[in-house]
Amino acid sequence: MRIGFFDGVREIGGNKILIEENGEGFILDFGKRFSVNNTYFNDYLGEREWKSPNDYIKTSILPPIKGLYKREIPVENEIDVNIRGVFFSHAHLDHIGLIDYINDSIPKYMSSYTKAVLDHFIDRGLIKEVKNVQIFEEPVKIGSFTVKPIPTDHDIPGSFATEVDTPKGKIFYTGDIYFHGRYPEKSLNFVKYAHDSKPYILITEGTRFGWGFIASPTEDELKKEIVSVLNQTQGLLIGNPYEPHISRILTFYEIAKEKGRKFVMTLPYAKILKRYKLIGDENAEKILSDPDTFIYKPDNPNLNFEDFEEKTIDANSISTDQNKFVLILDFLNTPELLDIKPQKNAIYVHSGGEPLASLDAENTKILSNWLNMFSVPYFRIHSPGHAPQQELLWMAKEINPQILLPIHTQIPERFEIVSNNVKILERGILYDF
């Protein structure tokens, strides 16, 4: 069998892993590379539509795989493998962001949560229309391989590690993973199961190697920290969690409950919680059905609130009673501050939502300008969605594969501390295993 790594090699994100035997194969994840954002293209300068997808293939944004794309224009050195499916470990854009380039005839396997987030991103115009999505719960057979999902915990719901049965033994791919979220048992069960399977290959993330000391608070610890700030100020709490990260939204909701405040969210949060509720998520149901939960309604006659209409609240109601609310406000609704008029005891807690400071300096500056306009202090109270270095090493040692393949890290060599079987990968090469 051959395995090729297109992106995610000595970089964080962009994972695209091709596994094939005798010309039949599949791909694990198909994400956007943060590292080439704003290199050749950006929000203003895009590919030439009539050449799509070749401009992106030639600039290493997409891999040169024959038959993979919606449109086919031959390129040099194409890889000729019949791709029978693409499996998406979770819905972060560095794993799913280029899904809309994949040919409609190729099945796209993902969890029902990942599909919910994908639909949310399509709604927001971040991803174009996608066809042939299959909910991935049962094993899928592709040639001599069987592919299975193993649920894990990450800072977005519905993530899984992937198990691949091959004639030479099992391959496990961790996807992105952490052990300090609300469901550590999922990630721990995965490690135990992989260990017991005596795997041939482990493809593991190594995101936090080289990050130095960054704490990994649990949701409960984050809650305590936010509350401790709030206890000093007693004014309006404005939170900014990442829209699909329901565990963090729940943290802000719990703060509202604890402090006897009303919980208000802008429409994007309400929409994604509704999608989660429709696939049976009990926390989404709890938040949405609470009589003290409200949806923020901007003074915009064109906004359609559909079934949220009865639960809406306007800026004026919040503005006149600021210490009675916890408001989660997505970045694109930041100008609503002009109507909310936060008072000087208000606080802004940036907790994983856009803009991502390390990747988006321009919008981070804009956010800071808005907060300065109202003299609202900015607090970054957040916890990474990835295991810290010592836990990455523990996981690799515990699973103890015959071959260890690090990806989604800038320092793959770091795994050599705990394993003599690390193979350092190069981008775009098909290796024989």
Interface with Zn ion (CB under 5 A): 13, 92, 94, 176
Q: Which is nearer to Zn ion, 95 or 277 (CB)?
A: 95
Let me know how many helices (H) and strands (E) the chain has, helices first. 12, 20
Residue 162's beta-bridge partner residues?
149, 173
Q: How far is the CB of 375 from Zn ion (least distance, A)?
A: 35
Q: How far is the CB of 97 from Zn ion (least distance, A)?
A: 10
Q: How far is the CB of 36 from Zn ion (least distance, A)?
A: 15
Q: Which is nearer to Zn ion, 114 or 166 (CB)?
A: 114
Tell me which amino acid residue 180 is. H
Strand 430-432 versus strand 2-5 pairing type = antiparallel
C-beta of residue 429 within 8 angstroms of C-beta of residue 405: no
| Residue-by-residue DSSP string for 310-377 | GGEE-HHHHHTTGGGEEEE--GGGGGGHHHH---TT-EEEEEBPSS-TTT-HHHHHHHHHHHHHTTPP
Q: Which is nearer to Zn ion, 272 or 376 (CB)?
A: 272
Strand 160-166 versus strand 145-151 pairing type = antiparallel
Tokens matching residue 309: 């209409």
C-beta of residue 298 within 8 angstroms of C-beta of residue 330: no
Q: Which is nearer to Zn ion, 176 or 243 (CB)?
A: 176
Alpha carbon distance 140, 352 (integer Å): 34
Q: Which residues contact 220 (CB under 8 A, 6 or more apart)?
A: none
Q: Which is nearer to Zn ion, 117 or 238 (CB)?
A: 117
DSSP state of 400: -
Q: Which is nearer to Zn ion, 99 or 230 (CB)?
A: 99
Q: How far is the CB of 356 from Zn ion (least distance, A)?
A: 12
Backbone phi, psi, residue 201, to 5°: -135, 140
Q: Which is nearer to Zn ion, 208 or 274 (CB)?
A: 208
Q: How far is the CB of 393 from Zn ion (least distance, A)?
A: 19
Q: How far is the CB of 306 from Zn ion (least distance, A)?
A: 30
Q: Which is nearer to Zn ion, 240 or 409 (CB)?
A: 409
For Cα atoms 8, 13, 16, give the angle at the middle one, nearest 5 degrees. Answer: 50
Pick from 376, 384, 383: nearest CA to 229:
376
Q: How far is the CB of 173 from Zn ion (least distance, A)?
A: 12
Q: How far is the CB of 59 from Zn ion (least distance, A)?
A: 21
Q: Which is nearer to Zn ion, 219 or 290 (CB)?
A: 219
**CB atoms near residue 2 (< 10 Å):** 16
Q: How far is the CB of 24 from Zn ion (least distance, A)?
A: 27
| CA end-to-end distance (rounded Å), the chain | 6
400-405, long-range: CB < 8 A, 24+ apart = 400/195, 400/198, 401/172, 401/199, 401/200, 401/201, 401/202, 402/169, 402/199, 402/200, 402/201, 403/200, 403/201, 403/202, 403/433, 404/201, 404/202, 404/204, 405/3, 405/5, 405/201, 405/202, 405/203, 405/204
Q: Which is nearer to Zn ion, 242 or 308 (CB)?
A: 242
Residue 293's beta-bridge partner residues?
263
Q: How far is the CB of 104 from Zn ion (least distance, A)?
A: 25
Q: How far is the CB of 95 from Zn ion (least distance, A)?
A: 5
Q: Which is nearer to Zn ion, 92 or 245 (CB)?
A: 92
